[in-house]
Amino acid sequence: MPSLLDASACRNLLRTFLAEDIRAGDITTRLTVSPAQQARGEVIAKAPLVLAGIELFAEVFLILDANAKVEFFFHDGEEVAAGKMPARITASAHALLAGERVALNLLQQLSGVATLTRRFVRAVEGTGAEILDTRKTTPGLRDLEKYAVLMGGGKNHRKDLGQAILIKDNHIRLAGGVSAALTAAMAARGQVAWIEIEVTNQEELRAALAHDPDVIMLDNMQPTLVRQAVKEIGLHSAPHKILTEASGGITLENVRELAETGVDWISVGALTHSAPAVDISLEIEPLN
């Protein structure tokens, strides 16, 4: 199990996924395949990808068959060419057939996230900007999808609502403005990882700078405006470096231009909410 993930929590999650799919039992396999049948399953990449979740994939079958044997030929974070075999599993045929869909769905989804993340990371190489994920994750899969972002070479933004303060447009309106929101939030400085506020124009930016937050998010700004804002933030005298983050409408087509503005972070919701699953198959053959 990947060391970056909670092994016990992952196993419980996998058991939930299996229970959802198997329910009363795999009736097709029970009627057509002998319980004594042993088989070998070869994981095959059908397209180039960045691997993420291969140990979770294997764990699905270890839950169903404690005697399953797994061979890994690639590891999470590695690039796998089309036609290559990341892993091979020998187990009860019943276990392989019952767990196939859950294991593949998870591996395809997580590898899809890692693969898209790698494309964004490569697009900004040499600029100093870091690619971050967001909280736009699949409910129940946040830890796994954020892990996949790491395997793609990206960074994790806040994990949950309690880790850091991020004051967004709705908070600002409800609090009564940028200054009011930041004044209230500063009471928690030192108790959270960082304090961040979203701004959309120069007026909000200057109001934010008066409070010296840890991070200023430049939301849905064109590259020219981001460059100007980064320069202004850099000239501002503060007891610490104020980090800058660009967010909103980030694509592979515009991410390089944004990165070249000098911004520190670029957060991309698409890494998790729009990553296409990659094509991976499990080819099963009988052993006896």
Catalytic positions: 101, 136, 168, 198, 219
Q: How far apart are CA 76 and CA 4, in angstroms?
A: 11
Structure-token pair, residue 146: 């954020």
Cα radius of gyration (the chain):
23
Residue of 189, 184, 164, 161 lying closest to 174 (CA atoms): 184
Contacts of 38 (CB under 8 A, 6+ apart): 90, 91, 92, 93, 286, 287, 288
**C-beta atoms surrounding 145 within 10 Å:** 25
Dihedral class, residue 6 (left if φ above 0, else alpha if ψ from -120 to 50, else beta): beta
In angstroms, what CA-CA distances link 151 with 71, 144, 199?
A: 20, 11, 30
Q: How far apart are CA 52 and CA 114, in angstroms?
A: 6
